[in-house]
Structure 1
Amino acid sequence: MKHFTLYERHYHRLVEGFENFLITRGYARSSCYNLPRHVAEFLHFLESRQVYALAQVEAPELEAFLDYLQNRHHQRLGGPLSAAYLNKYIQALVRFGEYVQHHQGLSLSVPLKAFKKTETPKIILSPQEVEALYQACTPDPLGQRDRAMLALYYGCGLRREEGERLNLADFQPERGLLYIRAGKTGQDRFVPLTSRVSQDLTHYRDRGRPCFTYQTQSEAFLIRPPGRRVSGQALSLRLKHLVLRSGIGKEISLHSLRHAIATHLWQAGMPLEQVARFLGHRSLESTQIYTHIEPGCGSENDGKTLNHKADEQP
């Protein structure tokens, strides 16, 4: 991504403050890197139009910036920017608006409409396919960590960065809870543990994890030799390995596991509000994106079946 030089010191400080704001709120590393740079491009654009104060920014400036983006080419790939990429700028400006409102008392409350993306079918795992992933885990320490990974990302529905940041002290089996420190929504939360999930995490903590700490101690829950925190990229590679071993024939990510548990819970009859709390969503709109079935498909009997078998999940 191209770096834009800002000549106004005030603008430069705003970008730095915005980045710290995102870090404090627990946004993913990629968001903390990319969103401030999108904002820097916006402020650079304002400077080119001789707009040197946010108080001067009105709808025409925002519309002109979005028009500029739609007409510029991708700096690395060439061709026009995709709707998904353009929406990252919308997200950056919305979050930046929250920042300046809270810290500067300024308002950038001009409504911004998201660009319409081309709909692509979502890849959703069935419960049987999730079970196949569990069965693909080997009994050695690495396989125990793989099973713990599935327990966290499917069984607990964590975001990628939430699993990366998880510490030993956050796993509280005696209370039947997993503590998730402030994440994307800026709020801490607790995720309830089924006995099966708790058992898998305990087994990894007590037996598998010590095999990775032969040189150094670490507070991280998911670790690699010699005791360092496992990155989301490394976990994604392990998931691809499980997909190959299971033979399910789908290209999935850690986030697909989060989508899967949301869909399975709703399909089993869990109210959308409860699914939202489980996922750590602030809005039901976000949860509706995750649940890839029509409302009303989950039956009362399905809900009872899931509740009865919740502690028997693989």
Structure 2
Amino acid sequence: MLTAEMQDYLRAIQVERGLSVNTVKAYQQDLNAFARFLEEQQKGLSQVDHVFVLAFLNQLREKGRANSSIARMVTTLRKFFAYLKKENLVAHDPMQTIKPPKKAQHLPAVLTVEEVDRLLAVPDLTSTLGIRNKALLELLYATGLRVSELVHLKLDDLHLDLGLLQTIGKGDKERIIPIGEVAIDWLSTYLRDSRPKLLKKQKADQIFLNDHGRPISRQGVWLLIKQLVAKADIHKDVSPHTLRHSFATHILENGADLRIVQELLGHSDISTTQIYTHISKGRLTQVYDQFHPRA
């Protein structure tokens, strides 16, 4: 159970720093785990030193937590104890000498163009939900939207006559993204033929609805993608974010500038976008090995 100080901290970061609900939930999960360890060890926050924190991190490692998860925990605790020190709630900051483990850099799963085509061919275009699914997939692949951006997309955010949409990404940053003609056509079909049938007499500003006429959730999109991937006979760990990775990789492979891709994805730091250049180079090597006579 969270301590009073933890609850105050979570309220503070949501109000003062304007962090998203999902980010605050991630901090809350980390602090919950730390609160359980405090309770197990019968310690208060004022008794925590760097040895105690190291013991906690070691327990996480023994439980099989990945380095990336432990690194995030270190970041959470670092910010939490900095807040406690600033508010004079603890005498010293135990996180000052603790470094996070190095993250193992791994490339995200990416679909090939052929696999994307197979996935996009799965929805049943004779059904109301099938047309919705087709429009949803086409839009994800055409724009590289995050799933959180997709589910919050509203009718007013679409400017189909201009071939554009606007969205609010991480850090409340607005960006304008072009939409391809194929995605525009399927969106238009969905908005004209399927969405009114799903909406019935209800009201909703969000574009994508579930079969009850309410805005589709992030979990709903995740489950939908899993079902469609299985039907497409694709044997990869695919999530909505995989289509975002595929979008970025494919346009880079076709000659797009890295800065343009950064803008389209809404990355604040280009180093985040550079992961896709590694994927493209991997594809380059694969093609070279396959076709060069002396490879």
How many residues align structurally?
Answer: 274
How many Å apart are 1:65 and its aligned residue? 5.9
Deviation, structure 1 residue 198: 1.4
CA shift in 2, pair 1:94/1:48, >3 Å: closer
Contact 2:144/2:247 (CA < 8 Å) preserved in 1? yes
Look up the match of 1:136.
Answer: 122
* 1:272 pairs with 2:272: no
Q: 1:202 aligned to 170, 176, 188, which one?
A: 188
Shift of 1:260: 0.6
Match of 2:46 in 1: 50
Paired residue secondary structure (1:220): coil
Contact 1:71 1:80 in 2 (8 A): no
- Structure 1 distance, partners of 2:14, 2:68, is 21
SS at the partner of 1:293? helix
**Partner residue of 2:76 out of 72, 92, 96:** 92
Residues 48-127 of structure 1 mapped to structure 2, 5 A cutoff: 48=44, 50=46, 63-64=50-51, 66-73=53-60, 79-93=63-77, 113-118=99-104, 122-127=108-113
Instruction: Quote how far apart the aligned CAs of 1:297 are.
Output: 5.0
1:178 and 1:95 mapped to 2: Cα distance?
35
1:65/1:226 CA distance change after superposition, 3 Å: same
Give percent identity, aligned residues only.
Answer: 25
Distance 1:20 1:72, change over 3 A: farther
Aligned to 1:244: 230
Q: Structure 1, residues 72-123: CA drift from partner, whole Å, max 9, x if none?
A: 248xxx725331221222343576699x6xx98xxx9969754234565642
Partner in structure 1 of residue 243 of structure 2 = 257
- In structure 2, the CA distance between the partners of 1:228 and 1:79, relative to structure 1 (3 Å rule), is same
Q: Are the aligned partners of 1:215 and 1:226 in contact in 2 as well (CA < 8 Å)?
A: no
Map of 1:17 onto structure 2: 12
SS at match of 1:250: coil
Aligned to 1:56: none
Deviation at 1:34, TM superposition (A): 2.4
SS of 1:190's partner is strand
CA RMSD of aligned residues (A): 3.6
CA deviation profile, 1:158-192 (whole Å, cap 9, x unmatched): 111111111111111122211102x3233111111
* Counterpart residue identity of residue 4, structure 1: L
The amino acid across from 1:16 in the alignment is R
Structure 2, gaps ≥5 residues long = 88-92, 286-295
CA distance in structure 2 between the partners assigned to 1:137 and 1:210 by the alignment: 19
TM-score, normalised by the number of residues in structure 2: 0.78
- Normalised by the length of structure 1, the TM-score is 0.74
Q: Using the TM superposition, give the Cα deviation of residue 296 of structure 1 relative to its aligned residue in structure 2, in angstroms.
A: 11
Residues 114, 208 of structure 1: alpha-carbon distance in 2 compared, 3 angstrom cutoff = farther
Matches within 5 A, 1:151-300: 151-181=138-168, 183-291=169-277, 292-294=279-281, 297=284
How many angstroms does 1:125 deviate by? 0.5
Q: CA contact under 8 A between 1:157 and 1:257: conserved in structure 2?
A: yes
